[in-house]
Amino acid sequence: MLNTFHKLLKLAFIFAAVITGWTSAILLSSTTFNIEIKELITKMYFNQKNFIFNVKDLSLLLVKDANERFSDKKQGIIPLINSKLD
C-alpha cells in the first residue's frame, strides 16, 4: 500500500515538474499563446482560494451525510433488538 502511494506521489511530482517546465519554456519564448497562458495561470491562482473553500464545504457535507446514514442505521437496529427482547 505504501509502495503504491509512493509511486502515485512520484507520478504526480513528475507530472507537475513536466507541466511547470513546459509552461516556463513557453512563457520565456515568444509564442502566440503567451497571453492566453498567462490569463489561464492567473485564473488558476484565483481559483485556488475557491477550491479550498469548496473542499471545506464538501467535507462538511460528507460528514453530515455520514452522520445521517449512521443515525438511520442505528434507528433500524434498535427496533430489531427490542423485538427480540419481547
Q: What is the pLDDT of residues 47-73, one digit of tens each?
A: 888 888 888 888 988 888 888 888 866
Q: How far apart are CA 37 and CA 32, in angstroms?
A: 10
Q: What is the pLDDT of residues 10-57, one digit of tens each?
A: 999 999 999 999 988 888 888 888 899 889 988 888 888 888 888 888
- 35 in Cβ contact with 26 (< 8 Å): no
